[in-house]
Amino acid sequence: MTDRPRTRLFVEGDLAGGAMVECGREQAHYLVHVLRLAPGDPVALFNGRDGEWLARIDKVGKKSAILAVNSQLRPQAPEPDLWLVFAPVKRAPLDFLVSKATELGVSALMPAITRRTVVERVKRERMTANAIEAAEQCERLTVPRIEDARSLSQILDSWPAERRILLCAEAGEAMPINDFLRGADPGGPWAVLTGPEGGFEQTELDLLHKFPNVNAVGLGPRILRADTAALAALACWQAVLGDWRNRPPGRN
Ligand code: SAM
């Protein structure tokens, strides 16, 4: 396998042999002034559709850089279809949650405003920038879809019937997460749902328990912070039903 460049960039443009891809001011600055790269240096590019490609810096300017796409390093490959629906938390833990959930392979991040959610506004652009940076670092071939914050009931009103929900329930009836996952049919779309620092209100839990395809699970005897709970549940899901039997690319 062609040696993998250490630098990876997410780009919007199509990737094919001979294509010339332009990246914007911030990425040009990052390549030239942070990484001190120069024309001819290799960069791995991915766009979420065409796999990962070896490219070389062709031209650099103040406002942009042009990269010449050479050969494909990896074809696009299927990734787990796992959403994270989460009651947003304050800025620093949210930055952390978005980055780590991206590393843990979520395909979508959906902020859900619940009755006890204290955070009103969620900056989608900031979440997207954190997700792109984490996707570049962890060598995944996609960037998770980032949605605007909606109320939990709005999200449930348009919920796809076939998508199963792993409800992290700190109170009431719940099965230990590993026991539930080991008995679940593999495959199919899933979502992890976690509540706010103040927890779900009983009316929300009652609604969720009546909702089809909702499976309440416990994450042990300790009350986890909302971001910890989300990441713990995502890790359990990947380990049992997800792609953690695979190995990182090109490191056999
Ligand atoms: N205020 C709640 C309380 O004191 O009981 C705790 C809410 S917890 C900080 C935030 C969210 O993380 C919960 O709504 C739940 O989704 C998840 N969570 C935390 N600890 C959990 C546990 N031991 N089992 C299942 N879910 C948990």
Q: What is the pLDDT of residue 90?
A: 84
Question: Looking at ligand 1, which residue's alpha carbon is closest to its atom 2?
Answer: 199
- Span from the CA of 179 to the centroid of ligand 1 (angstroms): 18
Query: Domain residues of the chain, as ranges?
Result: 8-74, 82-240
Q: How do residues 187-203 score in pLDDT, each as one tens digit?
A: 899 999 999 999 999 99
Ligand 1 near 224 CB (within 6 A)? yes
Tokens of 96: 């952390």
Q: Best mutation site among 115, 117, 170 for ligand 1, i.e. most ligand atoms within 8 A of its Cβ? A: 170
Q: Domain 82-240 belongs to what topology?
A: Alpha/beta knot (3.40.1280)
Tokens of 93: 């833990």
User: Residue 73 phi/psi, 5° resolution?
Assistant: -90, -40
Ligand 1 near 223 CB (within 6 A)? yes
Ligand 1 near 176 CB (within 6 A)? no
Q: What is the pLDDT of residue 97?
A: 96
Question: Looking at ligand 1, which residue's alpha carbon is closest to its atom 3?
Answer: 199
Whole-number average pLDDT of the chain: 94
User: Residue 18 phi/psi, 5° resolution?
Assistant: 90, -10
Which parts of the chain have pLDDT scores under 70? 1-2
pTM summary value: 0.95
Give the number of the atom of ligand 1 that is nearest the alpha carbon of residue 223.
Answer: 20
Write the Ramachandran bin of 113: left for phi over 0, alpha for psi from -120 to 50, otherwise beta: beta
For domain 8-74, the CATH class is: mainly beta
**Structural element, H or E, at residue 137:** helix 124-138
94 with 121: CB under 8 angstroms? no
Question: Looking at ligand 1, which residue's alpha carbon is closest to its atom 19?
Answer: 224
Give the number of the atom of ligand 1 that is nearest the alpha carbon of residue 168.
Answer: 26
Ligand 1 near 218 CB (within 6 A)? yes
Using alpha carbons, list the distances in angstroms from residue 203 to 116, 118, 126, 132, 165: 12, 18, 32, 36, 18
- Span from the CA of 234 to the centroid of ligand 1 (angstroms): 15
Taking alpha carbons only, the member of 120, 217, 138 closest to residue 176 is: 217
3-state secondary structure the chain: CCCCCCCEEECCCCCCCCCEEEECHHHHHHHHHHCCCCCCCEEEEECCCCCEEEEEEEEECCCCEEEEEEEEEECCCCCCCEEEEECCCCHHHHHHHHHHHHHCCCCEEEEEECCCCCCCCCCHHHHHHHHHHHHHHHCCCCCCEECCCEEHHHHHHCCCCCCEEEEECCCCCCEEHHHHHHHCCCCCCEEEEECCCCCCCHHHHHHHHHCCCEEEEECCCCCCCHHHHHHHHHHHHHHHCCCCCCCCCCCC
